[in-house]
Amino acid sequence: MPLSMQSTMASGTRRASEIVMKTCIFPCRNYSAARERLLFFTCFIPLIVFIPFLSGCVTEPKTLYSWESYESQVYAYLKGESLEEQISALERDREKIEARSYAIPPGLYAHLGLLYTETGDTSRAIICFETEKFLFPESAAYMDFILNNYGR
């Protein structure tokens, strides 16, 4: 193809794109504004559309402990609800957590021991306090304080 024909085709393509951009797609007064709009719509809009999809692929991190209904049982204790129901719920949660091989949350055995002391089951309370002390050494001072004042 001769060079003059190539330049004519290139200029014709350029003129056609200018006409389309000026009249059809982006009715602007000047060509540079139309080019900026085209750049915006072809580059930035797809980014804005696809960023939520990329963040949707991220999985939620696994928590260190499986809390089950522990927090709601502490709240139920503070509200003064039935101790037996709280004990059965915490025991059920403990069994679920152990069955799935998750970690018991800190304070579960201590709270269970507190509930057992309030119901008068001292042997289970002591076992719970000792288990809390074993699983969480940072609570040893407090568990020792409870066990010594409990009359072990």
Please check whether residues 43 and 76 belong to one and the same domain.
no
Please check whether residues 43 and 74 belong to one and the same domain.
no
Domain extent, residue 130, equals 70-150
Q: How many helices (H) and strands (E) does the chain have?
A: 8, 0
How much is the pTM? 0.62
Please check whether residues 15 and 84 belong to one and the same domain.
no
Per-residue pLDDT reduced to its tens digit, 79-120: 999 999 999 999 999 999 999 989 999 999 999 999 999 999
Taking alpha carbons only, the member of 45, 38, 46, 42 closest to residue 20 is: 38
Number of domains in the chain: 2
Instruction: Tell me how far apart the 2 most distant CA atoms of the chain are, in Å.
Output: 106
Identify the domain boundary among 56, 79, 96. Answer: 56
For residue 97, the SS3 value is helix
Please check whether residues 75 and 142 belong to one and the same domain.
yes
Per-residue pLDDT reduced to its tens digit, 10-60: 455 556 555 555 555 545 555 566 666 666 666 666 666 666 666 666 677
Q: Quote the CA–CA distance of 122 and 126 in Å, as a whole number.
A: 6
Q: How confident is the model at residue 5, as a pLDDT?
A: 47
Q: Quote the CA–CA distance of 70 and 76 in Å, as a whole number.
A: 10
